[in-house]
């Protein structure tokens, strides 16, 4: 990959991270691991296609529409030792969106770097079943 392409990819990943953080911190004050966030974003965001400009509005709409559910989920998760470690990562918003819109592609891509069981635990936290 040429340097310019690499730089553009990094800028896109950081832009997506900032868009996710704006929504994530509406739900919890718990900090997330930025390196892990960028690793997950790097793996998953290409599933949305090349254009990342629309993602900020997409994440904002998702959290706005599901805010009562998400606020309760995060409130309960604070005391749930069985929750997924990824729930308290800003990219959980991205994963929540993908579970609803492209679950099969998400599962396939996720398995390239992370255990499927962890994605399934996160899905259960969000009330999504893989059955």
Q: In whole angstroms, what is the distance from residue 91 CA to residue 20 CA? A: 6
Count of other CB atoms within 10 angstroms of residue 66: 17
Is 103 domain-assigned?
yes
- The verdict on residue 41 lying in a domain is yes
E strand segments, the chain:
none
pTM (global) more than 0.95 = no
- How far apart CA 117 and CA 55 sit, in angstroms, is 27
Averaged pLDDT for residues 7-17: 85
Q: Is 42 a member of any domain?
A: yes
pLDDT in tens, 63-111: 999 999 999 999 999 988 888 889 999 999 999 999 999 999 999 999 9
**pLDDT tier at 125, thresholds 50, 70, 90:** very high
Has residue 130 been placed in a domain? no
Tens of pLDDT, residues 28-39: 999 999 999 999
Residue with tokens 């310019």: 4
* Contact call for residues 89 and 32 (beta carbons, < 8 A): yes
Q: Residue 104: give the domain boundaries.
A: 3-125
Total structural domains within the chain = 1
Q: Rounded distance, CA 111 to CA 118, Å?
A: 10
Q: Which residues contact 131 (CB under 8 A, 6 or more apart)?
A: none
**Structural domain contains residue 90:** yes
So what's the pLDDT on residue 50? 62
Q: Is 131 among the domain residues?
A: no
């Amino acid at each position: 990959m040429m340097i310019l392409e690499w730089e553009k990819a990094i800028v896109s990943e950081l832009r997506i991270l900032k868009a996710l953080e704006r929504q994530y911190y509406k739900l919890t004050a718990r900090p997330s691991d930025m390196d892990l966030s960028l690793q997950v974003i790097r793996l998953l965001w290409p599933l949305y296609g090349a254009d990342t400009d629309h993602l900020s509005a997409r994440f904002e709409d998702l959290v706005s529409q599901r805010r009562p559910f998400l606020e309760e989920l995060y409130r309960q998760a604070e005391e749930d030792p069985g929750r997924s470690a990824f729930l308290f990562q800003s990219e959980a918003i991205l994963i929540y969106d993908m579970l609803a819109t492209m679950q099969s592609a998400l599962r396939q891509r996720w398995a390239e770097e992370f255990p499927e069981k962890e994605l399934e635990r996160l899905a259960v936290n969000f009330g999504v079943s893989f059955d």
